[in-house]
Chains A and B, each alone.
Chain A
Amino acid sequence: MSLTELTIADAAAGLRARKFSAVELVRAHTDAITALNPRLNAYITPTSDAALQAAACADEALAKGEAKPLTGIPLGIKDLFCTSGVRTTAASNILKNFVPPYESTVTANLLRDGAVFVGKTNLDEFAMGSANITSAFGPVENPWKRNGDADTKLVPGGSSGGSAAAVAAGLAMGATGTDTGGSIRQPAAYCGIVGLKPTYGRCSRFGTIAYASSLDQAGPMARSVRDCAIMLQSMAGFDARDSTSVNCDVPDYSAAVGRSLKGLKVGIPAEYRAEGLSAEIEAAWQQGINWLKAAGCEIVDVSLPHTKYGLATYYIVAPAECSSNLARYDGLRFGERVPGATLDAMYEATRRAGFGPEVRRRIMMGTYVLSAGYYDAYYLKAQKVRSLIRRDFTESFQKVDVLLTPTAPTPAFAQGEKTDDPVQMYLNDIFTVPASMAGMPAMSVPVGLGATGLPLGLQLIGRPFDEETLLAAGSALESAAGFTHRPAIRAEGAK
């Protein structure tokens, strides 16, 4: 099997068994990036040279028997995580030359455990988008193709579209993502990989460029549930530098993979049978229910009555926070500056040129909903609805252990579709946003291909800090589905 098709778990075993070296493993991926990235645009900044050097060090560690859990494993890093000495852009012109003199906690944890970073992956600008088309560095192409249609370029989902495309196409064994309203789960579903958004507070936000602070959460994206468990083990943990980081034990996530589901209660929320849910996804959902039942789960119908308000709530809260979080990009201390005769002229010119249309739109939206006279009607109201959404989850978790829903209402769509009206684009996140609003952990697992040959994902939502149940149920879906399909564009066979 090609080195770019291995799972992290298998590669780690192969490295220890000296079946191949870390340099060979990493080179297979950097070569694939060289070959395919011009087309997929999954990476903004490949770091092949540094990766090969790190791989050589990994080989030394392996030779000395000092290998750590991720030693020699090539990973992609969403370009929202600050990486010391490596350009970090947030896919924005305003940061196109920004080189952080510091490392985010999540990437520092991965480096501590031996991971090798092969590059910074593309994303929607400042993580604002659901199709990876708002990047200042150009859109990412989904490596999957509709049956018999090799020409139409599909979106990989967003905002972690570069990470999802890279992992799907074999340009990385796994990648970091961040999820604010679905930015890990939705692209994972569109690209046929596994993506896990942990509980808010599980992974430190220190050094990760903020979009909406009360929602942003880092998580792993990989080709198997077990690989996500391995990555999360490294990424998660308490960090005193993030006041919202939660100080609780990080369990052995790999141990949860494959755990028996006997007696597990799985909730099926009625409200997710929403308008616009495609028939193929509804069928996949039913299939998932059947598989979990077969695995010994008890299926329980539940209701999350405020689900339909999740998106509208999100599109008040997230822009409000982003309008404030992005005020620091003012051309003064870092980032691009457009000169101006006065301070305000400099600010206005810098921020007009530095931010793309979607970011400017959300900043203005957020500025408006927080402005005098509108705060109560919009922001305060949204935070109250958010309490109700959270209460829905809390109440259903008194009856069930985990929820099963579709991840997105449709499979991947084509570049250029749904771009006329911002609201149409926002609707892609309808199933992922509620768990984000409530801070619950959630995961997308690929379960099959739809009628046009595109991957379909199902979402599991768990109790706070119970990522283990997600991994257990996710691995059951994974085994039952036996999802081994690979995208049309991938490293293997590219040469």
Chain B
Amino acid sequence: MSLDPATVRRIARLARIGIDESDLPALQGELNGILGWVEQLNEVDVEGVTPMVGTGHAALRTRDDVVTDGNCRDAVLSNAPDAVGPFYTVPKVVE
């Protein structure tokens, strides 16, 4: 499988990473290099193998339904680049 420039652009868009047209050839080359290299996994017979989920050392734990957190707005907003009053902000979203 080999990535064309349009696919590289689409991936960058999905990942919300801005790229310039001039970045494309190098990125395409590097990603294709890595993808070509991982193709070696095609040699492995995985017929009937269960995919690993977690590392199998434990089962999922749950917690009790108790309010133990929150009410820490100062901390929540402590690193916000552009907080206004009690809110985070973003460039206006038009729906």
A residues apposed to B, CB below 8 Å: 97-99, 101-102, 199-201, 214, 240, 243-244, 246-247, 306, 308-309, 312-313, 315-316, 323, 327, 330-337, 339-349, 351-352, 355, 360-361, 363-365, 367-368, 371, 374, 377-378, 380-388, 390, 421-423, 438-439, 464-465
Contacts of A465 in B (CB 8 A): 57
Minimum Cβ distance to chain A for residue B14 (Å): 5
Beta-carbon nearest neighbor of A386 in chain B = B52
The smallest beta-carbon distance between B84 and chain A, in angstroms, is: 13
Least Cβ distance of B24 to chain A in Å?
Answer: 12
Q: Do the beta carbons of B81 and A244 come within 8 Å of each other?
A: no
Name the one of A101, A312, A371, A464 contacting B37, with C-beta atoms under 8 angstroms: A312
A378-B38, A384-B51 as given contacts; A351 in contact with B18, CB under 8 Å: yes
Pair A364/B18 contact, Cβ less than 8 Å? no
**Chain B residue contacts of A102, Cβ below 8 A:** 75
The number of A-B residue pairs with CB atoms under 8 Å apart is 163
**Residues 63 to 95 of chain B near chain A (Cβ within 8 Å):** 63, 72, 74-76, 78-82, 88, 90-91, 93
Q: Which residue of chain B is the closest to A346 with respect to CB atoms?
A: B91
Q: Is the CB of B34 within 8 A of A365?
A: yes
Minimal beta-carbon separation of A324 from chain B (angstroms) = 10
Decide if A363 touches B58 in the complex (CB within 8 Å): no
Contact of A384 among B37, B43, B49, B90 (CB under 8 A): B49
Query: Are B57 and A200 in contact (CB-based, < 8 A)?
Result: yes
Tell me which residues across on chain A come within 8 A of B22, comparing CB atoms: none
Q: Which residues of chain A have C-beta atoms less than 8 A from B78's C-beta?
A: 99, 101, 334
Cα(A414)–Cα(B88), bound, Å? 45
A439 to B17, CA, bound (A): 31
B12: A residues at CB distance < 8 A:
364
Interchain CB contact under 8 A, A383 and B51: yes
Tell me which of B43, B49, B57 has the highest count of chain A C-beta atoms within 10 A of its own C-beta. Answer: B57
B41 contact set on A, CB distance < 8 A? 309, 312-313, 316, 381-382, 385
Least Cβ–Cβ distance between B13 and chain A, in angstroms? 8
Which of chain B's residues have a CB closer than 8 A to the CB of A243? Answer: 60-61
- Could you say which residues of chain A place their CB within 8 Å of the CB of B33? 421-423
Interface of B is mostly: loop
B19 CB, min distance to chain A CBs, angstroms:
7
Minimum-distance CB pairs A-B, first 10: A439-B55, A334-B79, A348-B18, A383-B51, A352-B18, A384-B46, A347-B16, A337-B81, A101-B75, A386-B52
Q: A355-B17, A385-B49 are in contact. List 16 more A-B contacts (CB 8 A).
A: A99-B78, A200-B55, A240-B61, A240-B63, A308-B40, A309-B41, A327-B16, A333-B79, A334-B80, A352-B18, A361-B30, A361-B34, A367-B15, A381-B44, A382-B41, A439-B56
B residues with CB within 8 A of A: 1, 3, 7-8, 11-12, 14-19, 27, 30-31, 33-35, 37-38, 40-41, 43-44, 46, 49-58, 60-61, 63, 72, 74-76, 78-82, 88, 90-91, 93
Q: How far is the CA of A347 from the CA of B90 in the complex (A)?
A: 10
Q: Which residues of B contact A336 (CB under 8 A)?
A: 81
- Most chain A beta carbons < 10 A, residue from B40, B41, B53: B41
A200's nearest neighbour on chain B, judged by CB, is: B55
Would you call A342 and B49 a contact (CB within 8 A)? no
Q: Name the B residues within 8 Å of A345 (CB-CB).
A: 91
Q: Which of A97, A240, A388 has most chain B Cβ within 10 Å?
A: A388
* Interface pair A383/B75, CB less than 8 Å apart: no
Given contacts A333-B80, A342-B91, is CB(A199)–CB(B38) below 8 Å? no
Cross-chain contact of A387 among B1, B3, B34, B49 (Cβ < 8 A): B49
16 contacts between A and B (CB under 8 A): A97-B79, A99-B79, A332-B88, A335-B81, A337-B81, A343-B90, A351-B16, A365-B34, A367-B11, A380-B51, A382-B41, A384-B44, A387-B51, A390-B52, A439-B56, A464-B57
Residues of A within 8 A of B3 (CB): 368
Chain B contacts for A330, CB-based, 8 A: 16
Report the separation of the CA atoms of residues A312 and B33 in the bound assembly, to the nearest whole angstrom: 12
A200 to B7: give the CA distance in the assembly, Å: 35
Among A333, A367, A380, which residue has its beta carbon within 8 angstroms of that of B14? Answer: A367
- Residue pair A214, B54 in contact (C-beta under 8 Å): yes
Q: Which residues of A contact B88 (CB under 8 A)?
A: 332-333
The residue that A385 contacts in the complex, of B7, B30, B46, B76, with Cβ under 8 A, is B46
